[in-house]
């Protein structure tokens, strides 16, 4: 079997240019905001892995429970010969799905912005499953995707609840772009965290050990390294709040006192008032009807809805 292919559709300097644009847009407006994708440098990705093992952070375990219980049904319902995984990261929990889809599965197309994560995942999968063709894509799946011409039916997986990180309008755009990837007979498998009591939700984003606080503040290290910003993590406090109207969690960094963050490379100084907050993440929580309606709006039909035993998290299977 030939070694895996890796295709990059993301320019090498995409990160720098994107981050600059997001800083110029998000830190010069009120209220201040940055998109959550900037958490995930090497350190941030490590911290996220640590979050997934915290007692308070149930989504990863709940999703794994559903995948383990339903992988056979998913395989039977889709008969997929190609699995495309958006935001595959380490591809760790996808293994259950891949194992269930074999032997019908011929091609695996992991898509991620992190080339190192893709290489690591592809190398270990290739060792275990030499018959599986692996075509890794270094790409930003929120920007429209060109997929390799692999055999159908195709199953597109978008796991982890990452949909919740997109704002409603971004979700609509994203789901419509996913829809364009699906031919008749193809399917989308999507993980979404569910609305539940506030205490459980807030604890999941403000854990006792402070790992999520460190993860949130890690964005300041990214700004320092990439753009020379002089933000001191000790000047900010980690905040996690539940918005009951919009049914999402917001993570914010709150300035402990008045301060200015300088971005010499951007010729920019960003003043914070004492107590002023920078929104670093939205993590939307869903109900079945919302998932069904948003899928329908994008031209897809909810065919299966599976939750974990405790009803905390859901996997949806949708058809084109
Ligand atoms: C990886 C986007 C699903 O929103 O729960 C974890 C990221 N943020 N703790 C989420 C996250 C804070 C996570 N997702």
Task: Give per-residue pLDDT as tens, 54-75.
Answer: 999 999 999 999 999 999 999 9
Q: How confident is the model over 85-106, as a mean pLDDT?
A: 87
Q: CB–CB of 242/201 below 8 Å? A: yes
pLDDT at 13: 67
52 alpha carbon – ligand 1 mean position (Å): 9
Is residue 10 pLDDT above 80, yes or no? no
Percent of the chain at pLDDT exceeding 90: 82
Structure tokens at 194: 């569910």
**Is 283 annotated among the ligand-binding residues?**
yes
Is residue 41 pLDDT above 90, yes or no? no
Nearest atom in ligand 1 to the alpha carbon of residue 160 is 3
Better-predicted residue by pLDDT, 94 or 261: 261
Better-predicted residue by pLDDT, 189 or 103: 189
100 alpha carbon – ligand 1 mean position (Å): 26
Is residue 1 pLDDT above 60, yes or no? no
| Mutation pick for ligand 1 pocket among 39, 44, 45, 48 (CB with most ligand atoms within 8 Å) | 48
Query: Which among 158, 261, 159 has a CA at the least distance from the CA of 219?
Result: 261
Show the ligand 1 pocket: residues with CB < 6 angstroms.
Answer: 51, 59, 160-162, 164-165, 205, 212, 281, 283
pLDDT at 21: 96
Q: DSSP letters along 135-185, please? A: EEEE--GGG------PPSSEEEEE-TTGGGGS-HHHHHHHHHHHHTTPPTT
**Is 165 annotated among the ligand-binding residues?**
yes
pLDDT at 291: 98
Q: How confident is the model over 92-120, as a mean pLDDT?
A: 90
**Is 57 annotated among the ligand-binding residues?**
yes
**Is 262 annotated among the ligand-binding residues?**
no
CA distance 84 to 189: 10
| Residue nearest atom 12 of ligand 1, based on CA coordinates | 205
**Is 40 annotated among the ligand-binding residues?**
no
**Is 87 annotated among the ligand-binding residues?**
yes
Q: Which of 10-14, 29-33, 218-222 has the lowest mean pLDDT?
A: 10-14
1 alpha carbon – ligand 1 mean position (Å): 36
CA distance 305 to 191: 10
ipTM: 0.99
Q: CB–CB of 41/214 below 8 Å? A: no
pLDDT at 14: 67
162 alpha carbon – ligand 1 mean position (Å): 7
Better-predicted residue by pLDDT, 120 or 85: 85
Nearest atom in ligand 1 to the alpha carbon of residue 249 is 4
Beta partners for residue 6, in sequence order: 136
Q: CB–CB of 157/97 below 8 Å? A: yes
- pLDDT confidence of 102, banded at 50, 70, 90? very high
Tell me the range of 100-104, 122-126, 237-241 where mean pLDDT is highest: 237-241
**Is 79 annotated among the ligand-binding residues?**
no
196 alpha carbon – ligand 1 mean position (Å): 16
**Interstrand relation of 301-307 and 313-319 (parallel, antiparallel or unpaired):** antiparallel
Q: How confident is the model over 150-161, as a mean pLDDT?
A: 96
284 alpha carbon – ligand 1 mean position (Å): 10
**Interstrand relation of 313-319 and 187-193 (parallel, antiparallel or unpaired):** antiparallel
Is residue 252 pLDDT above 70, yes or no? yes
Q: How confident is the model over 10-27, as a mean pLDDT?
A: 85
Is residue 30 pLDDT above 90, yes or no? yes
Is residue 240 pLDDT above 60, yes or no? yes
Mind listing the pLDDT tens digit for each residue in 293-319?
A: 999 999 999 999 999 999 999 999 999
pLDDT at 80: 98
| Residue nearest atom 1 of ligand 1, based on CA coordinates | 162
pLDDT at 156: 97
Better-predicted residue by pLDDT, 18 or 240: 240
Q: How confident is the model over 20-43, as a mean pLDDT?
A: 95
264 alpha carbon – ligand 1 mean position (Å): 30
Name the one residue in this structure whose structure tokens are 């997986």: 157
pLDDT at 2: 55
- pLDDT confidence of 12, banded at 50, 70, 90? low
């Amino acid at each position: 079997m030939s070694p895996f292919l890796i295709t990059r559709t993301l320019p090498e300097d995409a990160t720098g240019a994107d981050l600059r644009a997001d800083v110029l847009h998000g830190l010069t407006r009120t209220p201040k905001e940055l998109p959550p994708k900037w958490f995930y440098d090497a350190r941030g990705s490590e911290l996220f892995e640590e979050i997934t093992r915290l007692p308070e952070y149930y989504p990863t375990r709940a999703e794994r429970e559903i995948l383990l219980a339903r992988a056979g049904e998913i395989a039977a319902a889709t008969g997929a010969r190609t699995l495309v995984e958006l935001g595959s990261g380490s591809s760790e929990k996808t293994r259950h799905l891949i194992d269930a889809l074999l032997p019908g599965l011929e091609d695996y197309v992991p898509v991620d912005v992190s080339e190192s994560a893709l290489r690591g995942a592809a190398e270990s999968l290739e060792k275990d499953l030499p018959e599986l063709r692996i075509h890794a894509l270094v790409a930003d799946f929120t920007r429209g995707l060109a997929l390799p011409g692999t055999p159908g039916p195709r199953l597109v997986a978008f796991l982890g609840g990452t949909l919740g990180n997109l704002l409603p309008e971004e979700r609509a755009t994203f789901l419509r772009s996913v829809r364009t990837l699906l031919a008749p007979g193809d399917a989308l498998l999507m993980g979404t965290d569910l609305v539940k009591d506030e205490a459980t939700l807030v604890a999941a984003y403000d854990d006792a050990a402070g790992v999520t606080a460190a993860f949130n503040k890690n964005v300041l290290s990214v700004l320092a390294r990439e753009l020379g910003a002089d933000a001191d993590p000790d000047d900010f406090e980690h905040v996690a709040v539940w918005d009951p109207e919009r049914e999402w969690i917001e993570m914010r960094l709150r300035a402990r006192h008045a301060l200015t963050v300088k971005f010499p490379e951007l010729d920019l100084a960003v003043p914070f008032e004492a107590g002023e907050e920078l929104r670093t993440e939205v993590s939307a929580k869903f109900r079945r009807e919302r998932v069904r309606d948003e899928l329908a709006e994008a031209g897809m039909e909810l065919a299966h809805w599976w939750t974990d035993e405790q009803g905390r998290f859901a996997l949806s299977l949708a058809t084109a």
